[in-house]
Structure 1
């Protein structure tokens, strides 16, 4: 199935081709959020989303709006109404979501940069599934005006590209204040989370070792306590933004179920979750004063098949960093299998330049090995 919900005319002049997730407003086009219900109730956007200002200023070409999971709710990348984009590395595996179309458009060469949103991993997960790079930006760095909300206190917009250099190109479009890259990280904090496949851990360790980085083991004791506040915030803010869609005809069972669960999130539960987030942010910030960046896999194992993904914990290694608000870069590293293992680098608030500099240095060492 196509990665696209809407295609625009091919560019007449050279320049970056940009694929925009159909949760981001493009002037004159209906934003569907991957939902027939939303599409049928919406009018064409009167203006571009604020995050596209740099795209227009750079004379990059928006080549279309891409498929996503309905209302950005699922990290799988499937969509029964608009079609599920085919993972170009392995058609039987999930493409990852919710920014599935943007990832597939980049991976198949139909776009140079894909723009996605990330609330619990929705840029990094499809990047990992499709063997490309993707950057979750610092919360608040890229404006969200004109972006379909899932959980506004977690949502970010970020770029996907075939490599980290392409991610840098995407950040220059998204953030006019994007600076020159610093020196790469020297000290990496290696984070290990229970339940990760040993082959995945070995591939990450090998990549860090081959790159010659100084690696220190780190722990985040509060890691396991992040899942409840994440769930409460996502559901609570989903309800605040979209309660009018409860029981709307045409919603998928998955989204309808999420809205029903969201209705039951009490103000007390949400307030407790926000307090827990503050403590978690402080813990991650403290860890990043001892090392330059954190390193761990993006996924716990190889991407699951489209026919059997229900028990795969897709967001286990990504969502805690949405709760922290910090930036995180996913990039492939050499490993066997149709989908290479994805390394996740996590930096301090507004540390995207450091992450990209480190990612570029890693690619410089690892890509020749990947091609051999």
Structure 2
């Protein structure tokens, strides 16, 4: 007797180049497609990560044209027509009512609200919403909508313990909240070759390289990292900083580096598809964000065996323990970033031990296989409960 095949719909704003989107692509690709008939719905038409989907995954879009400030359409800042914020949910609700998928899972605020109301038009559909980050401050309107609608979710998946606490504080039934951490293909990062990355950016073979990966947005702390460079260069004049990613802060960061007379040492790598190779070139990975969920970029740095400098916020703290896998610095403190980075370069044995411990932790706790298996188990539990009820 064959196993029942469940219709599983994912809903996300766009398959942009970001942590949540990369995690979704990996999850959709690696699920058992004999058990789950997987479709990804996006609100916007611009989906650069769609090329990474396997043939078994269907991509459907709600047809909204987004504003994309970079040539590669790597991220979307909003809809070109504000009326589409009304049209898109209506189109999705009609599709849900017509096709009645077994499961709908969403990840981000706007998608979560849509998914919760979609459950009202198809009561047999199991709705799973997500918590991907824990902001330091939330707009009153967002907080009100979250508290009003959160119990419409049949289940909530948080990628961090901090996110689970936030969901419960907003009124979610504690029994409906599950923590499933992000995962990555650890061996891909552990075994990466350095290639010619230094040569590509004109970085000397023996120059110490600081770097980070993430969207160039204010909360990621890139401005603090750039501001730390003059102090680092005083101690290590050949040092280089590599910022991997795109975002609205790119030009402001360039301007800041120029103001600090360190523009020749700061390299903007843009969006890359060879992250393991780039990370293998770094000597220190710096992740000075102001708030997070459970950042995939930090897991990738751990998998690469890099010594890490990071802020002890939310998911960062869950991944990296101070002086066990990396070094903590306070958010918004360039002087602390410089001090921590210099200390790791001055103490290669400490840097090596932290990197080795971080890599071991990633291998043991944050693999793609573990993430996919945990989520698959939850899906099966939810669908079995639905059949029984």
TM-score (norm 1): 0.29
TM-score (norm 2): 0.28
Bigger helix fraction: 2
Q: Which has the larger radius of gyration?
A: 2
State the structure with bigger RCO (CA 8 A, min sep 6), 1 or 2.
1
